[in-house]
């Protein structure tokens, strides 16, 4: 898909999710989120994932994608919050738990890199 097609698809899915329940998308919302992640269109991914979550649906895999989008878009703090909630809800042996823990580490690392250097100078 081209960038324009991704924008169009994301806008259409957000509009659909605002009008319907997430489970009425026949998996198309999840598939679009995966495509947006693969294409590194994180701002669009965040919009679709937020609309998906706003329907009341909860899918741990979507939460991990949402968190990744937030990290990549400069909102590691919100990603850390989502991931902290997620890791207490999923089994510790699950692949989602492992991915979420890895993303938590990445979010903390990003927070460190984004923070001002408060060390004393020479």
Decide if 54 contacts 17 (C-beta within 8 A): yes
pLDDT of residue 21: 81
pLDDT of residue 4: 94
Name the nearest CA neighbour of 64 among 55, 89, 54.
89
Spatial distance between the Cα atoms of 22 and 84, rounded to a whole number of angstroms: 23
* SS (HEC) of 43-90: HHHHHHHHHHHHCCCCCHHHHHHHHHHHHHCCCHHHHHHHHHHHHCCC
**pTM to 2 decimal places:** 0.88
pLDDT of residue 46: 97
pLDDT of residue 23: 74
Residue 120 is given by DSSP the state -
Q: Is 92 helix (H, G, I), strand (E, B) or coil?
A: coil
Average pLDDT of adjacent 10-residue blocks, the chain of 122 residues:
93 93 84 96 96 92 96 95 96 95 94 76 58
């Amino acid at each position: 898909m081209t960038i324009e097609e991704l924008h169009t698809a994301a806008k259409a899915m957000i509009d659909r999710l605002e009008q319907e329940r997430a489970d009425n998308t026949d998996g198309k919302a999840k598939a679009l989120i995966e495509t947006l992640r693969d294409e590194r269109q994180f701002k669009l991914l965040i919009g679709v994932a937020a609309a998906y979550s706003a329907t009341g649906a909860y899918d741990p895999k979507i939460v991990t994608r949402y968190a990744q989008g937030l990290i990549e878009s400069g909102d590691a703090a919100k990603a850390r919050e989502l991931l902290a909630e997620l890791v207490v809800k999923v089994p510790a042996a699950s692949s989602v738990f492992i991915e979420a823990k890895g993303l938590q580490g990445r979010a903390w690392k990003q927070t460190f890199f984004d923070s001002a250097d408060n060390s004393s100078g020479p």
